[in-house]
Every structure is written in structure tokens, then in C-alpha cells.
Copies of this chain bind each other. A is one copy, B any other.
């Protein structure tokens, strides 16, 4: 028996975490790719809990950066960036529920070199930006086009090859009344750029509006902690997820479960507020579902909590706080 059968998704989901139907979203059936997370967008697919959905994702630049001589500032047209698949309307999902999304697989698609990373003006962790506005000149633009392959990884240079460790950079539900750019991460998910959101993980998302409106896109072939220059190894994929609903499980921000740990995810500025948000939510989780009192959980996480930096470049920074199942499962 795999760990998944003991997951919250499998134990509490309306469909018991089981695969009950299969669907696909191709470039054609998607049509135009949305750039905002909101229930204003018309669903491209409506499914029941238990649906397995394969989606043809674009890279964050919609494939427009094709060679190393391209100039991002001339090709890209802000705010039309980070195109998403969806929204997917999930029958039965209502405000106050939780949408569980198990990530089955991410497979690269399209011709080589299919990986892209760039330096562009006013974006990145070590340069002046629109948010941290300074007077000094930007770095020169630079484009790298890279060979990306499941087996051979990401070829950086003659000497350096990075393993293919794909994940979903942007995934979430619609806010209740807003429509927010897919460049933003927040309590509903969005552009978290957190490498733990990869194959084999379940991400739990708050349902803010009837039907949940699941969006996803922006898959990365590899990414370091922080996504330092702002652009990971972006690439187009076929991404397959399974969705389920956990009724009346009201969470304030995304949570994640995999074989090893439970994680909560915070997005905020400054960065300490993102960590605070993640850790407080983890304490509340330990307190609500694992038999800890809040102060005991606070003191225990002081000794064994783990923090993963997702991005330090988006409009909000994202970090995950986690505890090993071997510890939390033991309870107090």
C-alpha cells in the first residue's frame, strides 16, 4: 500500500482520492490561455471529484522566446505573461471546502531546446525592480535556451547538467470576488514557484467560490530555492493531475502533503511574514488535527520545523514550512 492511500486526500476526499474519469486540455481545447485567477473566466472543463486531467501547458512566455538572440523586453508584453490552463470547474466544490490536487506527472513537450531562462529588466532577486525601485541601471538582458529531457536532465553547459526535477510553478483556485494576475502568489495559491509542488505531492487549496475554478501552468524543469533571477527553467509540458474535494475543510492558505512531510505555504512581503504565515498555519493544523496544543507545537517546530524558500522574486515571496510525518504522526 502506498502512502497515498493514507493521505488526507484519500481518506477524506469525496471520491476517496480515486481516479474516476479522465480528461484532457489541449492547446486547441484551451483556446486562449488566461492571465488572471478569477471566476470571471469561463471554465474550459467541468469535472466531478475523482477526475484525472492532462493539460498541455505553455511555458511562462507562451513560447515566444525562441532563441538566445531574442530580447525579452521587446518580445514580452506585460501583463500578458504566465498563461494558465483552465479554469476547471469542479462540481460540488463550495466556499469553505478544500480542493485536493494530486500531481501525477509532468512531461516535457515541444521541440528542443525547449527550456528557457532569461535576465530581463526590473525583475529578479538581485536587481532593482518595480517593487524595489532604485536608480541604478538594470543588468543587460540575456537569454538561455536549453535542452531539457526527462532522462538526461537540463544541459547547462558542457560540464554542468542538472537533473530534471519538474514541478508546477503556478496553481490555484479563483479568489471569491477578485481576478488576480497569474504572476501573483497568495492565499489561493497562484505563482508560488515552490519546488515541492511536483509529481507525487498532493496540494490542498482553499475553495473560495462555487466550482473552485482550478488554474495551473508555468511548469519548471528545475529551480533553485528562491528562483533567484526570476526565471527558472521554463518549459512546455503535459501535466497530469487528479482532483478531489474535501467538504468543509476550511484552510486559509495552501497546504501540501507527500510521502515524507506535511507542509503549509505562505506568501507575503517582507519574507518574514511569509514564514510567519506558513508556520502559524502549520501550528493550527497540528493543533486541530494532530492532538498538539498550540504552544507545544510552537516549541516543537522550533526544534524540527523545516522551511523551503520557493520564490523571492514575485509580487509576494513564497515559503513552505513543514514537519516530518515521522514526528507529527507520533503526536504528543
A residues at B contact (CB < 8 Å): 35-36, 38, 40, 79-80, 117, 119, 124-128, 130-140, 142, 144, 154, 156-160, 162, 176-181, 222-233, 252, 266, 268-273, 275-277, 279-281, 283, 294-295, 298-307, 309, 312, 317, 321, 327, 330-332
Contacts and interface: CB of A to CB of B under 8 A. Distances in A.
A131 B268 contact: yes
Nearest to A277: B133
Contacts of A330: 159-160
A312 B139 CA distance: 25
B276 A224 contact: no
A299 B117 contact: yes
A142 B297 CA distance: 13
> Is chain A's interface secondary structure helix, strand, loop, or mixed overall?
loop
B306 A224 contact: yes
Given A303-B154, A303-B162, A134 B142 contact: no
Contacts of A159: 330-332
Contacts of A301: 224, 228-229
Nearest to A233: B303
A132 B132 contact: yes
Contacts of A128: 128, 134, 136
A166 to B, nearest CB: 12
Contact of A269 (B80, B160, B270, B305): B270
Given A299-B119, A327-B160, A224 B305 contact: yes
A275 B160 contact: no
Contacts of A137: 136-137
A276 B179 contact: no
B135 A298 contact: yes
Nearest to A322: B225
A305 to B, nearest CB: 4
Question: Which of A135, A271, A275, A330 has the most chain B CB atoms inside 10 A of its CB?
Answer: A135
A302 B279 CA distance: 25
A302 B142 contact: no
Question: Which of A144, A275, A331 has the most chain B CB atoms inside 10 A of its CB?
Answer: A275
A181 B131 CA distance: 19
Contacts of A252: 130
Contact of A298 (B157, B228, B327): B228
B302 A135 contact: no
A329 B173 CA distance: 42
